[in-house]
Amino acid sequence: MIFRKSLPLFLAPVLAAGVVASAAAETPVLLPTLVISASATPVAAREVGSAVTVITAEQIERQQVTSLADALRQAPGVALSRSGPLGSQTQVRLRGAEANHTLVLINGIELNDPSGASEYDFGNMLASDVERIEILRGPQSALYGSEAIGGVINIITKQGKGPVIAVGMAEAGSFATGRLSGHVQGGGERYNFSVGATYLRTSGVSVAPKSEGNTELDGDSNKTLNVSFGFQPLENLQIDLFGRLVQSRVETDPQPFVAGVIGTVDGNEVTDTLQRTGRARAKYTLFDGRWEHIAGAAYHTDQADSLTDGLVNFTSKGEKTRLDYQTNLFLKSPDFANAKHTFTLLAERETDSQKTASAFGGSDLEITNHGLVGEYRVSLFDRLFLSGSIRHDLNELFDDATTYRGTVAYLVQESGTRLHGSYGTGVKNPTLFELFGFGPNFIPNPALQPEKSEGFDVGVEQSFWDDRGLVDLTYFNSRITDLIDGSGLFAFNRAGTTRIQGIEVTGSLEPLENLKLSGQYTYTLSEGTDGAQLVRRPRHTGSVNAAYAFLEGRARLNLAVNYNGDQQDFQFSNFFADRRMVTLGGYVKADLTASYSLSERVELFGRVENALNQDYQDVFGFSNPGIGAYAGVKIRLGGQ
């Protein structure tokens, strides 16, 4: 208990001093050359004024991450809430905002489910075939529209290039868990392709707490397929296609609608999910690439069937379709401050639909939004980088909304210092469920207004020891008005302002060529309109990571330690009739991984998850697995 309470106080000064740190591949603040999501066009990492974290495929593979949500734990500003073991519903909140204030993209396609409170359930997202994850924090509606009050998580899958490479992996371990995956990719001068498939199955643990006599296991199965193909029929025309299919079955336990029964109990409940995602994009360039025209079409559907004792009792289907056109103009004026200019105009049309069916009734709803975006970026003296963007949304149900954002980054190259900051406004439209709901007990509220936000962050990044170390300190502050709340039977806009502020500290250090350390700590102070701390937003979160390679790089060890502080949550009894506030205790989760390359083609690997065997809950009444061990083999064919 003493260790748990003192850990946040320990992490902050250690990270700030740069004693706890990481290598470039392990460090959130050491960004790759280009960042995709921070602007309307890819931008060099050093020019980014917004707070953004990049998690690479190398990190994911070294830490042997199964669920993509677990990779997010090591990014600053992230609060993760998983309702049980692997595969269970998983919410991600950025900088104290709500889960449906986080816009989730995969290869630029929006994944938020219109029939599921406009959230994305990370429980169905495996980490296989992921090339990188970008976590953009702060209000981003000026670029992305609704659902981006807290920020954006952009997932980018592997793209083929060069000689054909095939990688196969098999793994088995605790809780009767097995995982198989295969990936093939390659490319030539005018084409590229990538195909990846993963199958996972686990018997899991009881969602309902074992300490209260619940013993029935709740398992998960997941089948995921990713396919991408690109070709260049003309020298200045590139066409890209992407498709994704996810089929999962998650077992869970119910919360009985009985007075006096609190939390979850053993039961035979299952959710079958089918997700289909696709996008086609064409990019045509003129004047040696200085003028781009990009047209795209995207589609995503998320269908879920909830079953009790084998009988379907609720079905929901959310769909998103989007058409967009973007034009980018790149200009230079070297005689004036060595300036480089980027002008962007974007027009999009997005339609959300929701269909639900149950014994209590159903719904069939649809809403369309049109968005117009303009952005200007400029680089001055190769050290001052400014950007400004503005967006105007035209919606069928709500008043038109205008949002904007500005960013600045300044390099002091002589001292290895980078200053960065951003300011933006955001808007979140009510969900179709919040507006109209379904069934005889729900009270529709078509008068709901969009949630609105404004926020800023300022930070300083400092490198040291010949760029072997780096520390970044960022302060963030946001305000949300017209926050939507409800008990499940009625939704309404809260009067007053929700206030959120905090500090993010990240650090990195490479004391030895084969030893790479990283860490981050986030303090989040969130106050609702009633002055109380917001639920499922711990004030203290942090992580440290150590990666060590030896035997000429053939053997690797990795230790990841994540801390999640005390947090508030709701305790439900008799469905929504009795709702009380409870405190969930903080916890430390440690994962140890190891791998050894028998040859250039064959690698053995293993890991221990929750090595401290912590008994913890992210959501009240929903248990998580204890200590578990896993091992497997990876085989690589082809390539040079």
Q: Which of 343, 135, 160 is closest to 240 using CA atoms?
A: 160
pLDDT at 88: 93
Instruction: Say which residues have a Cβ less than 8 Å from residue 496's Cβ, sequence separation at least 6.
Output: 481, 529, 530
Percent of residues, the chain, with pLDDT higher than 90 = 76
**For residue 442, pLDDT beyond 80:** no
Long-range contacts of 347-350 (CB under 8 A, 24+ apart): 347/371, 347/372, 347/373, 348/145, 348/322, 348/323, 348/324, 348/373, 349/322, 349/323, 349/324, 350/110, 350/145, 350/320, 350/321, 350/322
To which H or E segment does residue 584 belong?
Answer: strand 578-584
In the structure, what pLDDT confidence band is assigned to residue 577 with cuts at 50, 70 and 90? low
In the structure, what pLDDT confidence band is assigned to residue 29 with cuts at 50, 70 and 90? very low
CATH number at residue 254: 2.40.170.20
Token pair in block for residue 497? 């302002």
pLDDT, mean over the chain: 90
In the structure, what pLDDT confidence band is assigned to residue 576 with cuts at 50, 70 and 90? low
In the structure, what pLDDT confidence band is assigned to residue 438 with cuts at 50, 70 and 90? low
Q: How many domains does the chain have?
A: 1
pLDDT at 3: 34
pLDDT at 267: 83
pLDDT at 640: 66
**For residue 4, pLDDT beyond 50:** no
To which H or E segment does residue 79 belong?
Answer: strand 78-82
Q: Which of 20, 6, 9, 98 is closest to 528 using CA atoms?
A: 98
In the structure, what pLDDT confidence band is assigned to residue 30 with cuts at 50, 70 and 90? very low
What's the CA gap between 19 and 13, in Å, rounded? 9
Task: Taking residues 423-445, report their average pLDDT.
Answer: 81
What's the CA gap between 154 and 136, in Å, rounded? 8
pLDDT at 262: 64
User: How many other C-beta atoms are found inside a 10 Å radius of the C-beta of residue 495?
Assistant: 9
pLDDT at 260: 54
Question: What range defines the domain where residue 81 resides?
Answer: 2-638
**For residue 581, pLDDT beyond 70:** yes
Which is higher by pLDDT, 376 or 214? 376
Which is higher by pLDDT, 635 or 440? 635
**For residue 524, pLDDT beyond 60:** yes
pLDDT at 446: 80
Distance between first and last Cα of the chain: 53
Q: pLDDT of 287-296, one tens digit each?
A: 999 999 999 9
Question: SS3 for 12?
Answer: helix
pLDDT at 580: 78
Q: pLDDT of 311-366, one tens digit each?
A: 888 899 999 999 999 999 999 999 999 999 999 999 999 999 999 888 777 788 89
To which H or E segment does residue 141 belong?
Answer: helix 141-144
